[in-house]
Structure 1
Amino acid sequence: MNSPPSPSPARWFKLRRTRFGEPCLKTYTLESVDLLRRARVAFQNGRTLKEVFRLSQLEAVVRFLEEHECDFVEALARDLHKPRFETVLSELTVVKNEARHAINNLKKWMKPQYMEKNLSTTMDECLVVSEPLGVVFIIGTWCSPIQMCLVPLVGAIAAGNCAIIGPSECTAHTAALLHRLIPFYLDNECFHVILSGVNDLPKVVELKFDHVFFSGNREDGSRIAQAAARTLTPVTLILSGKNPCYVDQQCEIATTAQRIAWARFHNAGQSLVAPDYVLCHADVKAQLVEALKYYLMQFYGCDPRESCSYGRMVNLELFNRTRDMLWRSGKVVVGGQVIEAEKYIAPTILTEVTETDAIMQKEICGPVLPVLTVNNTDEAISLINKQDKPLCVYAFSRNGKVISRLMSETSSGSFCANDSILQSLMVALPFGGVGASGMGSYHGRYSFDTFSHRKSCLLRSTRFECVTYLRYPPYEDRNLSLMTWASTVSQKSQGWCQIL
């Protein structure tokens, strides 16, 4: 048995390499402190600053995923019973797209951004320089263990940082694989993987990083943010929540049901971005439920337990939590079967759900979809706004005015009309939370900016002192009048700095 963790961060956390298939092992020594020290020394020596270094590391990420696709498929099959199709499409391909996008745009992102000049800065240069933050800590969630570790890593590399990655202990085989293989592809001084339990992560955060990126549930995210605040470390939080999905009476029922069923039940419903509950217009509720039942049959057959396309819950804790909410809420119209020994919960649709049911009190990270009835768009918007701000809002309708109202009259980290999840995967769109669903964003250029400090730079000339002398003491009313007049001469005036 390992000894209990030391209360002192300086004595915390040892890493041990594992062979594929073994569970992640962890003990508690100085090694985490040593990894942080090595990364910080590498950063201070300028190891990550050059474009050629960043490009080589981004190319190594792509090569890493391509050469070990089968290993990742096997690891996620062990951890989540995840089908190969889902692993390749929603994990590996997403990361490779991010890396290739960063490779193609890195030169442009790294260039200083020259800002508009005014009369007093005609001979000067006003620019914004993106400089790396330093050593960042990336904490990935178990429901997308490759994507949520490596997509932020791509941004951190592109921005010129060193990084330490903390994959989730819940997906132990995937974490062990990242821990074992990354040292063979990425710079061994700049990039490291640590294996820790979720309860231990705040102690790691207290070791003092330059940025912490966390994805996961709100309770753990709150603890991470509190730990980071003690050392004034900035954070990006991508937090789970109850993502509402409104289905209007003016929609294509078959397509709507198919897209909702895919989004809710892929990865056995274990997703930060899947629709959490449906607010369905009363006129089409019966049709929607029947269509959902039909597509569940099409996707997974008569017995989803036997389907090669359907996953399992990640652990018994989440299994028990989801099962208990399921049994205490609404009416099961399809699914509902559970097998504890297999961590299996069938794809389940619930109706006759009320706002006070257990299933509506917390996010559902499992294969259960409650369908609630609303009478109009106003009621749907009111119900959404009564909850905390979600990570995603979804709306299905052929009526553009309905879509526009849902988009403008609700607040969420992201919005998607007539589909689900895809807005969270696009490299051109920032993705992140707001309010209770988190802070900050990432993907593409937004990841680069998240892991950069945008430094304002004014490179002034020493000319025109015959004008700027007006700012110096002794202060005179005449000088103040001249400066006030000068600041209002141009319609493009930006204030006092024109004459200062």
Structure 2
Amino acid sequence: MAGSEEKEKAVFDVDAASALVNELRCTFASGKTRSYEWRVTQLKNMLKMCDENEKEIAEALRQDLSKPELESVVYEIGMLKNSCRVALKEVKHWIVPEKAKTSLTTFPSSAEILSEPLGVVLIISAWNYPFLLSLDPLVGAIAAGNAVVLKPSEIAPASSSLLSKLLVKYLDSSAIRVIEGAVAETSALLEQKWEKIFYTGNGRVARIVMAAAAKHLTPVVLELGGKSPVVIDAGINLQVATRRIIAGKWGCNNGQACVSPDYIITTKDYAPELVDTLKNELERFYGKTPLESKDLSRIVNSNHFTRLTKLLDEDKVSGNIVHGGERDKESLKIAPTILLDVPQDSLIMNEEIFGPLLPIILVNKIEESFDLINSGTKPLAAYLFSNKKKLKEQFVMSVSAGGLVINDTTVHLAVDTLPFGGVGESGMGSYHGKFSFDAFSHKKAVLYRSFIGDAAIRYPPYTTEKVRLMKALIGGGIWNIIQALLGWGKA
């Protein structure tokens, strides 16, 4: 059986991908996925899948990332279930055409905006939250009525395998398919024409995805990352602030999250108190030997472990470690690490860390942090801790990022009424809640007219009187139109 499975995977080439897409196009063309009943059934089955397989999902996440059970239950299964519930509750409203105003030009008429499914779409997900980042976009694609191919990340093999097993059991395999594999399989999929590609990952692969999509003029949603800053002002409840930073940094996959705090900016005067508080809270959460803590995820694989240790061991920053730095290559564990007064030209400050290392940058005045942030690429998230109203307003107005949070980190992901997505190098497009539905829908404009009220003014010959009336219509205003109809004024 294992040999048979390997053979099937080995033959998934461009031809196999083309056959798969054609099969799904036939399903979509039948109208099956457009029905409200089909959408609701799939969403209910996804909820059922989560409820009935919670232990198996948590175990797969443990195998791939040593992810603590609480993080699996809350940040993967719980958030996915919430997305399903929101879609189940709201999809009947989302699919109702939205009435639109018409103009005097088309009188008498009515208009509406119809959300229609795009067709056959591709979702390529990431390894750090392999269930949530695979299935959360899928919720939107299903709610919108599409046929879908899901490509999970091969870097999380246990989760990828379980997704393949579960989705064929719980969802309609004539319209929703999972393709496992690595670069070869992804490349074969990218050769195909899709109505949309939704990719979660890094900027390097995003450029490959976008280049492939451009060949077919396929629209894309790119959920990327970047160096998400945390600005810390003085005069705050520092214990609460540091706990929330720790939760967003090390409590989210040990820093392996797209919205994880990447670095801190604070003043030189406030830094000593901040560092001491971070140390105390880290020890409170993870103990004096954090490498032994069961509440910290491991680094996903040896390649990423090597990448992170390279950042940590660079001559420019190795002497700036003020807490942590321990690592265990065998278990792929790196302790929560704080680095103080890190040079701007260091490696750690010039690439997304995506791990448990947290540099602190020092400024003389906290307002200097905004220009510092804006001097780099636009991050996926930016965080500010402050009690000052004016500073908060300045932060919101001057810092460009996918999303902002004041006095906390990462929690905006849980607010389904907010769009989640990047800007610039941190991505394009957004999802969550109705934004997921919209991401996989086309807003089709529909205008209805009757045969009455046909105006001769739009047809040749174009007389002086018609020109006069047209100018009045373009200029607007009832008095102008009356004047034109009565023949007053100049043509």
Greater alpha carbon shift after TM alignment, 209-218 vs 261-270: 261-270
The corresponding residue for 2:386 is 397
Q: Secondary structure at the match of 1:257?
A: helix
Equivalent position to 1:478, from 443, 450, 465: 465
Rounded to whole Å, the distance in 1 between the matches of 2:303 and 2:35 is 45
Rounded to whole Å, the distance in 2 between the matches of 1:489 and 1:163 is 47
CA shift in 2, pair 1:128/1:15, >3 Å: farther
Q: Per-residue CA shift, 1:3-32, capped at 9, x if unaligned?
A: xxxxxxxxxxx99489xxxxx965544443
CA shift in 2, pair 1:390/1:252, >3 Å: same
Structure 1 position 230 matched with structure 2 position 215:
yes
Q: Secondary structure at the match of 1:309?
A: coil
Q: Secondary structure at the match of 2:270?
A: helix
Equivalent position to 1:416, from 384, 399, 405: 405
Q: Per-residue CA shift, 1:230-286, capped at 9, x if unaligned?
A: 111110001111111111113221111111111111212100011100001223211
Structure 1 position 254 matched with structure 2 position 243:
no
The corresponding residue for 1:242 is 227
The corresponding residue for 2:178 is 193
Rounded to whole Å, the distance in 2 between the matches of 1:457 and 1:373 is 56
Rounded to whole Å, the distance in 2 between the matches of 1:171 and 1:433 is 24
Q: Structure 1 counterpart of 2:34, which letter?
A: L
Q: Secondary structure at the match of 1:486?
A: helix
Q: Structure 1 counterpart of 2:77, which letter?
A: L
Q: Per-residue CA shift, 1:442-483, capped at 9, x if unaligned?
A: 011111111000011111122112xx2112122223212112
Rounded to whole Å, the distance in 2 between the matches of 1:381 and 1:116 is 42
Q: Using the TM superposition, give the Cα deviation of residue 122 of structure 1 relative to its aligned residue in structure 2, in angstroms.
A: 4.7
C-alpha root-mean-square deviation of aligned residues, in Å? 2.0
Greater alpha carbon shift after TM alignment, 171-180 vs 473-482: 473-482
Q: Secondary structure at the match of 2:355?
A: coil
Q: Structure 2 counterpart of 1:396, which letter?
A: F
Q: Structure 1 counterpart of 2:425, which letter?
A: A
Which structure 1 residue ranges, 4+ long, deviate > 4 Å from structure 2? 24-27
Q: Per-residue CA shift, 1:172-225, capped at 9, x if unaligned?
A: 000000011110100010000011214652431121111000010110111111
Rounded to whole Å, the distance in 1 between the matches of 2:101 and 2:193 is 37
Q: Per-residue CA shift, 1:47-68, capped at 9, x if unaligned?
A: 1011011000011111111110
Q: Per-residue CA shift, 1:319-345, capped at 9, x if unaligned?
A: 100110011153111110111111111
Rounded to whole Å, the distance in 2 between the matches of 1:364 and 1:464 is 65
CA shift in 2, pair 1:27/1:396, >3 Å: farther
Structure 1 position 211 matched with structure 2 position 200:
no
CA shift in 2, pair 1:171/1:25, >3 Å: farther
Greater alpha carbon shift after TM alignment, 269-278 vs 109-118: 109-118
Structure 1 position 178 matched with structure 2 position 167:
no
Note if contact 1:395-1:403 (Cα within 8 Å) is conserved in structure 2: yes
Rounded to whole Å, the distance in 1 between the matches of 2:92 and 2:154 is 36
Q: Using the TM superposition, give the Cα deviation of residue 39 of structure 1 relative to its aligned residue in structure 2, in angstroms.
A: 1.2
Equivalent position to 1:406, from 395, 401, 406: 395
Q: Secondary structure at the match of 2:330?
A: helix
Unaligned 5+ runs, structure 1: 1-13, 19-23, 494-500
Structure 1 position 92 matched with structure 2 position 81:
no
The corresponding residue for 1:53 is 38
Rounded to whole Å, the distance in 2 between the matches of 1:175 and 1:360 is 32
Note if contact 1:156-1:448 (Cα within 8 Å) is conserved in structure 2: yes
CA shift in 2, pair 1:124/1:440, >3 Å: same
Unaligned 5+ runs, structure 2: 481-491
Matches within 5 A, 1:201-350: 201-266=186-251, 267-328=253-314, 329-330=316-317, 331-350=320-339
Q: Structure 2 counterpart of 1:272, which letter?
A: C
CA shift in 2, pair 1:475/1:250, >3 Å: farther
Note if contact 1:15-1:27 (Cα within 8 Å) is conserved in structure 2: no
Structure 1 position 444 matched with structure 2 position 433:
yes
Q: Per-residue CA shift, 1:372-429, capped at 9, x if unaligned?
A: 1112233101110110111111111011211111111011111111111111232111
Rounded to whole Å, the distance in 1 between the matches of 2:356 and 2:139 is 30
Rounded to whole Å, the distance in 2 between the matches of 1:167 and 1:420 is 27
Note if contact 1:225-1:235 (Cα within 8 Å) is conserved in structure 2: yes
Note if contact 2:227-2:263 (Cα within 8 Å) is conserved in structure 1: yes
Note if contact 2:130-2:152 (Cα within 8 Å) is conserved in structure 1: yes
CA shift in 2, pair 1:347/1:26, >3 Å: farther
Matches within 5 A, 1:2-151: 16=5, 26-29=10-13, 30-151=15-136
Note if contact 2:223-2:422 (Cα within 8 Å) is conserved in structure 1: yes
Rounded to whole Å, the distance in 2 between the matches of 1:199 and 1:402 is 49
Q: Secondary structure at the match of 1:82?
A: coil
Q: Using the TM superposition, give the Cα deviation of residue 129 of structure 1 relative to its aligned residue in structure 2, in angstroms.
A: 0.5
Rounded to whole Å, the distance in 1 between the matches of 2:345 and 2:440 is 41
